[in-house]
Amino acid sequence: MKFSKPWCRTSRRAWFVTLDGRQLKLGKTKQEALARYHEMMAAPKKRTVNSDSLLGIIDAFLEWVEQNRSPDTYEWYRYRLQRFAVRCPDLRVMELHPYHVETWASEYQFSVTSRRNYLRSVKRCLKWAKKQGYIDRNPIEELEVPSAEHREVAISQAEFDGLLSCVRNQALADLILVTWETGCRPQESLRVEARHVDLRHHRWVFQKSESKTKQITRVVYLTDTALAITQRLMLAYPDGRLFRNSSGRPWTTDAVNCGFDAIQRRMGIAEMQRRREAISAEVISQLVPTLSSTKSIQGQVVSKSAAELSCEAKRKLTSQRAAALAPRYSLYALRHSWATNALKKGIDPLTVAILMGHKDPSMLSRVYQHLSLNPQHMLEQAKKAAG
Burial call 367-378: b when 16+ CB within 10 Å, e when fewer: bbeebeeeeebe
Topology classification of domain 157-253:
hpI Integrase; Chain A (1.10.443)
pLDDT band with cut points at 50, 70 and 90 for residue 29: confident
Domain parsing of the chain, residue ranges: 7-42, 54-132, 157-253, 331-386
Q: For residue range 56-101, list pLDDT tens digits in order.
A: 899 999 999 988 887 778 888 998 998 998 888 888 998 999 999 9
Q: What is the pLDDT of residues 223-248, one digit of tens each?
A: 999 999 999 999 999 999 999 999 99
Q: Residue type for 57, please? A: I
pLDDT exceeds 70 at position 149: no
Q: What is the pLDDT of residue 3?
A: 47
pLDDT band at 143 (very low <50, low <70, confident <90, very high): very high
Mean of the pLDDT values across residues 143-166? 83
pLDDT higher for 367 or 205? 205
Res. 148 pLDDT band, cuts 50 70 90:
low
What is the C-alpha to C-alpha distance for residues 142 and 139, in angstroms, rounded to an integer?
Answer: 8
Give the pLDDT confidence score for residue 73 in this predicted structure: 85
